[in-house]
Structure 1
């Protein structure tokens, strides 16, 4: 559905402080194909400084997603495996889990803060408690090929340049690579 743009994703929008429309995309690791809808890091060999910045920034974004899924799976262990349900039922299960998670977070904010990853004063990762449990797999590696598209390469390079531009950089990123 992502290949055919049948998920109803919003139309491309410019990144903050930029004027070029960029498609919305998912964040993955090397197990996934590079597409306009799936950004993954550059290979770890002979990276330029700009590519290291891109990988760092993508990694930070991916960590937010890992925290969200990790917290839900820690609390609601039915999410650790395959939900052998009809898609409509899976939607309801996930909505129920997210709603219950949000209620717990509002009622017990100190517990929620301990559970998620944090950064120390030097922007270094301090792992959250959810990471002590079982971690989710990065994806089903048995389907499809990991084939790069030229449009995906072009978009990743554009985002790399954005992360290294005045509009898209953050003040501490040079210290993190």
Structure 2
């Protein structure tokens, strides 16, 4: 299921589009181009509509914070194996699992942990930590 479809099917989305929105007044969400535009959800202009400097600046302003957040999730996926292929737990528990991973990461960073992205989430053998021997390795 695509992210945008899952989002539209979520309880949170239903609350947001109801007469009593869940998102605080004055706040918006940032999304990628796959999501439907809502008054409370900002998404970038499609490439073919970037005809003015104002639209290009808007896209930069919307995409830059999203990139920072996506990079942060990439770091977390690199450190915690359980985030590689989605969190396997009840939907209600997923935010707590992610929060625990963030807090553990921050704690270890504060302790001077010399972790150097031992797991590459983009590598085919993503489930093998650095230094682990894979089958057939000498």
TM-score (norm 2): 0.63
Q: Within 5 A, what are the aligned runs for 1:156-171?
A: none
RMSD between superposed Cα atoms in Å: 2.9
2:33 to 30, 35, 44: 30
Structural mapping, 1:144-163, within 5 Å:
none
Q: Which runs of 5+ in 1 are unaligned?
A: 13-23, 116-128, 136-177
Match of 2:25 among 2, 11, 21: 11
Quick one: structure 1 residues 42 and 91, their matched pair in 2 at CA, closer, same or farther if it must change by over 3 Å? closer
Aligned to 1:102: 106
Aligned residue runs from structure 1 range 57-72, under 5 A: 57-72=61-76
Whether 2:43 is the aligned partner of 1:40: answer yes
Deviation (angstroms), 1:3: 4.5
After superposition, the Cα gap between the structure-2 partners of 1:50 and 1:109, relative to the gap in structure 1 and judged at 3 Å, is farther
Task: Give the 5 Å matches for 1:79-118.
Answer: 79-108=83-112
Inter-CA distance 133–90: structure 2 relative to 1 (3 Å threshold): closer
SS at match of 1:11: coil
Query: Counterparts of 1:109 and 1:47 in 2: how far apart (Å)?
Result: 47
Alignment counterpart, residue 134 of structure 1, candidates 122, 125, 129:
122
Distance 2:114 2:25 in 1: 38
In 2: Cα distance, 1:91 partner to 1:67 partner: 18
Native 8 Å contact 2:77 2:121 kept in 1 = no
- Contact 1:2–1:37 (8 Å) recurs in 2: no
- Pairs aligned (count): 108
Larger radius of gyration: 2
Structure 2 vs 1, CA of residues 109 and 48 (structure 1 numbering), >3 Å: closer, same or farther?
farther
Which sections of structure 2, spanning at least 5 residues, go unmatched? 1-11, 124-138
